[in-house]
Structure 1
Amino acid sequence: MDPFTLLEEQVEFELKRRGASTDGSPRLLASRLNLNILLATECKVVPVSVENELDYCVKLLAKLEADLEVVRGRRRTAKVLGIQSQIIHIINRLRNVQVIDPTSAERVDSLVAVARELTSRVELSFVSEENQEDSESDGPTPPRPELRKRRNAIGGDPPIVPRELSSEPVYKWRMKKFDGRETQWDVHEFLLEVEEKAQTRNVSHDQLFRESAELFDGEALVWYRDAAQRVSSWEDLRRELLIAYQGYGNDGHLREQIRAAKQEDSQGIDVFLAKMRGMYRRLDRQVSEEEQLDEILRNLNPFLKDRLMMVRIDSIADLRKFARQAESARTRLGTEAPSPVLVSSRDRRTNVSAVREQEGAQPATSRDFQCYNCNSKTHSFRYCDAPMKKFCYGCGMPDVTRSSCPRCAAASKNAPAVAGLEADL
């Protein structure tokens, strides 16, 4: 059905069937209907008067039959396409009536039969004329694709056949081949890149295994030729590759790398978490999320440690959420992350010692806390339902803010800017 050959009222009816808007110019409405047809939008019942609809369809069928009598020629003109589209539109209206009033099924079926007979007359006339053209030509002419498409359109909208995406062969990937001279880290990065490309290029694991020789070069290609005789799937080949170029018992070295991976002052929380989670996934013995969270919290940069010190964090998702808020506040306030050059390690040790002497021992983790607002040990002041009092958000001293707190003000001068915290709360 070609929406651009329908009347405006007919286009609006088809749009209502598909739950689309009927506002706009006639050309805009036709374009909107065309898009809905291409997307195969599910149709719904349009409330109408059964008798009025049946009368409308009878009159329109009579008009189209008369129009067909004067159609001559061997080309599918706009007039012919318009007749075919309106016949399909009539069938759609009749089916809508049948859903509203099942008792009208017999009458509807008879009118649908008339509409399909008209469509068949149009198609058969073109088939006979095309056969005549073929007999007059020197050689056979292949059937026209548009004719097959129109034949499928008899009795309703043209069916939308989903197009199957073709896969791209591995030899066309233009990626660096693995030659066996890489470090144990690059083996993981190599496999990650291969499997990402396979997914985006619609390559199954079976096809990836069949074409995997294209992924190796040098010493690794020699290894592959031997390994391919022992394995029968990509998963097995992947495991053999890790064993050959990473070896067993690598967790100890990898755990050391994880503990030493500190977040840089300019590094966002999402990038840091992606880096850490990627290393955790490489472990043969998986680590629980709680243990991962403890290690990640210890490796945060000083800015986030200061901002999240009194926040209850029970999962990595919580950490991501609150860290994003802290980084967003710093961006809005225009503050910079502290430069390691400006603060010596000696100054840092002195500041930490002074704060501990003034404040007393601080909780070792974010799970030990006390509400500074109501003194409860079941929640932090951020989650307190009692009326909020005035106190220092850093140490809990009453009747002062953090900027005027005698305990925290001195330490805050040498720490990253925290003014946005109280504003956010």
Structure 2
Amino acid sequence: MSAPVVQMTTEQLQSLIASVRLAAAAGGSSAATAAVQTKGSFTNCTSRFGGQRDHEAVEEFVTAIVTYKEIESISDEDALKGLSLLFYGLASTWWQGVRKEAKTWADAISLIREHFSPSKPAHQIYLEIFEDKQNDRTAIDTFVCQKRALLAQLPEGRHNEETELDLIYGLLNIKYRKVILRQDIKSFRELLEKGRIVELNNLEAEERQADSGRESKRTKRCTHCNYRGHTFEECRKRKPTKDSYN
């Protein structure tokens, strides 16, 4: 026996559709409310700062937390409240004493930079730039990166890229300057590209020289004892001993 068919009037169908729409809207509103109530924080941020007076370390920390704040959509107020979670050691002690001075998030960032990475006078930065030249062990990428980091601490707009190239080019190791002429490079990108080629070529030449030395050692044969690896002049067996004089 088939089940009875339930027929609905037009009014009943419209009422049912309206009820479903109302329920869906209420559910979406609850989800939106929950999303609004969920606040971002620095709880899961892995960046930490211990108070070292190092320009690069300070800028790395500031860049990391500013980026994290933006990604997690943390409000300025909540970021300011949670900043203490990211300090340890000396930095934590310092923050306890100055936190009342930070009225805004921007104030906090400025305080960090002013205390742990105060601006150096230009003449001191120039002294650090010209303090040392590139040695044989330092790769060109590392050397140029270090020098450009110092140049970045100068007042904005002090030098254009061409002038900065002039400053750094003269500090490069002679093995690069012999191959890369200053007039052939217009940017740091070109300098690094050509510098890497020089390094690869030098590495290949060193490997070939080492292989050649090993091959030469293998092919040497002593005409006195007939063993490989040394020559007649180097042969120990042909050298007289004390017993031969007795």
CA distance in 2, matches of 1:230, 1:169: 21
1:313 aligns with 2:181: no
Task: State which of 168, 175, 189 in structure 1 corresponds to 2:57.
Answer: 189
Moved over 6 A (4+): 124-127
- Equivalent residue number for residue 220 of structure 2: none
Confirm or deny: 8 A CA contact 1:171 1:214 kept in the other structure: yes
Confirm or deny: 8 A CA contact 1:262 1:299 kept in the other structure: yes
Give the TM-score taking structure 1 as reference length: 0.35
CA distance in 1, matches of 2:147, 2:14: 68
Cα deviation, residue 267, structure 1: 4.4
- Equivalent residue number for residue 244 of structure 1: 115
- Equivalent residue number for residue 147 of structure 2: 276
The structure whose RCO (Cα within 8 Å, separation 6+) is larger is 2
CA distance in 1, matches of 2:14, 2:130: 77
SS of residue matched to 2:46: coil
- Equivalent residue number for residue 225 of structure 1: 96
Q: Closer, same or farther in 2 for the Cα pair 1:261/1:205, shift >3 Å?
A: farther
CA distance in 2, matches of 1:277, 1:303: 20
CA distance in 1, matches of 2:126, 2:88: 30
Confirm or deny: 8 A CA contact 2:49 2:61 kept in the other structure: no
Task: State which of 46, 51, 55 in structure 2 corresponds to 1:174.
Answer: 46
Task: State which of 74, 77, 82 in structure 2 corresponds to 1:211.
Answer: 82
Confirm or deny: 8 A CA contact 1:269 1:320 kept in the other structure: yes
Provide the alpha-carbon RMSD of the alignment.
Answer: 4.4
Mapping of residues 59-98 of structure 1, within 5 Å: none
Q: Deviations over 1:221-279 (max 9, x none)?
A: 34323433233333333333333234454544433322235435454433433322222
Task: State which of 332, 335, 346 in structure 1 corresponds to 2:205.
Answer: 335
Number of aligned residues: 186
For structure 2, which runs of at least 5 residues remain unmatched after alignment? Answer: 29-34, 208-246
- Equivalent residue number for residue 257 of structure 1: 128
Kindly provide the amino acid, as one letter, of the partner of residue 42 in structure 2: V
CA distance in 2, matches of 1:321, 1:167: 46
SS of residue matched to 1:335: helix
CA distance in 2, matches of 1:205, 1:144: 30
CA distance in 2, matches of 1:221, 1:256: 33
Cα deviation, residue 334, structure 1: 1.9
CA distance in 1, matches of 2:185, 2:62: 36
- Equivalent residue number for residue 47 of structure 1: none
Mapping of residues 257-406 of structure 1, within 5 Å: 257-265=128-136, 267-284=138-155, 287-289=158-160, 290-309=162-181, 311-327=183-199, 330=201, 334-336=204-206
Cα deviation, residue 288, structure 1: 0.6
Confirm or deny: 8 A CA contact 2:134 2:171 kept in the other structure: yes
CA distance in 2, matches of 1:316, 1:298: 14
Kindly provide the amino acid, as one letter, of the partner of residue 292 in structure 1: E
Confirm or deny: 8 A CA contact 1:177 1:217 kept in the other structure: yes
CA distance in 2, matches of 1:177, 1:310: 41
Q: Deviations over 1:368-394 (max 9, x none)?
A: xxxxxxxxxxxxxxxxxxxxxxxxxxx
Give the TM-score taking structure 2 as reference length: 0.55
Kindly provide the amino acid, as one letter, of the partner of residue 282 in structure 1: Q
What is the aligned-residue identity percentage? 17
Cα deviation, residue 304, structure 1: 1.3
Q: Closer, same or farther in 2 for the Cα pair 1:198/1:129, shift >3 Å?
A: same
Kindly provide the amino acid, as one letter, of the partner of residue 237 in structure 1: A
Q: Closer, same or farther in 2 for the Cα pair 1:128/1:174, shift >3 Å?
A: same
Q: Closer, same or farther in 2 for the Cα pair 1:125/1:306, shift >3 Å?
A: farther
Cα deviation, residue 305, structure 1: 1.4
Cα deviation, residue 301, structure 1: 2.5
Cα deviation, residue 125, structure 1: 6.4
CA distance in 2, matches of 1:127, 1:278: 69
Confirm or deny: 8 A CA contact 2:43 2:85 kept in the other structure: yes
CA distance in 2, matches of 1:278, 1:222: 29
CA distance in 1, matches of 2:118, 2:65: 25
For structure 1, which runs of at least 5 residues remain unmatched after alignment? Answer: 1-71, 74-120, 135-141, 149-162, 338-425
